[in-house]
Amino acid sequence: MNEPMREGLSSDTLKSIYRRVAGHYDFQHGLLTARSDARGRRLVVERTVHAGNRVLDCGAGTGSTGLMAAAKAGPTGHVTLFDLSAEMLAVAEKKAVEQNVRDRIDLQTGDMLHLPFDDASFDVVLSTYSLCPVYDPAKGALEMYRVVRPGGLVGIAHSAEPQRPILRPLASAVEKVVWHFHLISIGCRAVEVLPALQRAGGEVAFSKNIGVPLWPFIVFVIRKPTEH
């Protein structure tokens, strides 16, 4: 399992951060990512969700990705919004009512490193920008892989190192400073989870780097092979 670039945040610290930023999280995250976060969410949902799917949005936050998935899954689909923060999910529920998809979702709090779901419970599992702050992102990714069914898809977007080596020292230096101001960074940092999923048997169905060159995101979809 890959070691994180630097220490992640504890669950208690993340709860405290998200409780304080829940009301303006969408604006703040969009501003800090130059709106490329929305593009990543669209790519993930477009490449994974189909009508009638059972979907888990893991680290759902304010529901931006999960509600998009609920719209695409349609009235025969169902989406579970799962997040550490009750305050973030309260914002998601309000948005679900406004978007007329409340009957297609349920909301559940918990730790994404210890998902309370059986193996193979979902057709699709999504995570957009929720792995970046946790202290063991690879473990979180493997938990998502565990609960998706054979033949199902895991769609992930997270912060990544710049592709151009010349930019990496600068990006790392800036991140080391900003990361400690948790209410600004929201704990985000570059992580790497794709190798762990590939070692678990996952097959890459899609991969794309997006965002600004200095602070990019990687968006990818993993297919879990069918059992023989």
Q: Domain for residue 4, yes or no?
A: no
Q: Domain for residue 3, yes or no?
A: no
pLDDT tens-digit map of 171-204: 677 777 676 666 666 777 888 999 999 999 999 9
SS3 state at 40 = helix
In the chain, the percentage of residues whose pLDDT exceeds 90 is 62
Residue 113 CB partners (closer than 8 Å, separation 6+): 134, 136, 139, 140, 143
What CATH code is carried by the domain that includes residue 69? 3.40.50.150
Per-residue pLDDT, 14: 86
Q: Which two tokens stand for residue 68?
A: 């998009």
Decide if pLDDT at 213 tops 70: no
Q: Which two tokens stand for residue 213?
A: 């060159």
Tell me the average pLDDT across 207-212. 87
pLDDT band at 228 (very low <50, low <70, confident <90, very high): very low
Q: Domain for residue 205, yes or no?
A: yes
Per-residue pLDDT, 214: 65
In the chain, the percentage of residues whose pLDDT exceeds 70 is 86
Residue reference for tokens 């609960």: 147
Rounded Cα distance between 225 and 2, Å, is 22
Decide if pLDDT at 18 tops 90: no
Tell me how many domains the chain contains: 1
Q: Which two tokens stand for residue 143?
A: 């938990």
Residue reference for tokens 């669950």: 11
pLDDT band at 6 (very low <50, low <70, confident <90, very high): low
Q: Where are the beta strands (DSSP E) in the chain?
A: 54-58, 78-83, 105-109, 122-128, 148-159, 203-211, 216-223
Domain that holds residue 71: 11-223
Decide if pLDDT at 8 tops 90: no
Per-residue pLDDT, 26: 82
Full-model pTM? 0.89
Tell me the average pLDDT across 165-171. 70
Per-residue pLDDT, 94: 97
Residue 108 CB partners (closer than 8 Å, separation 6+): 80, 81, 82, 116
Q: Domain for residue 6, yes or no?
A: no
* Alpha carbon of residue 105 to chain centroid: 17
pLDDT band at 1 (very low <50, low <70, confident <90, very high): very low
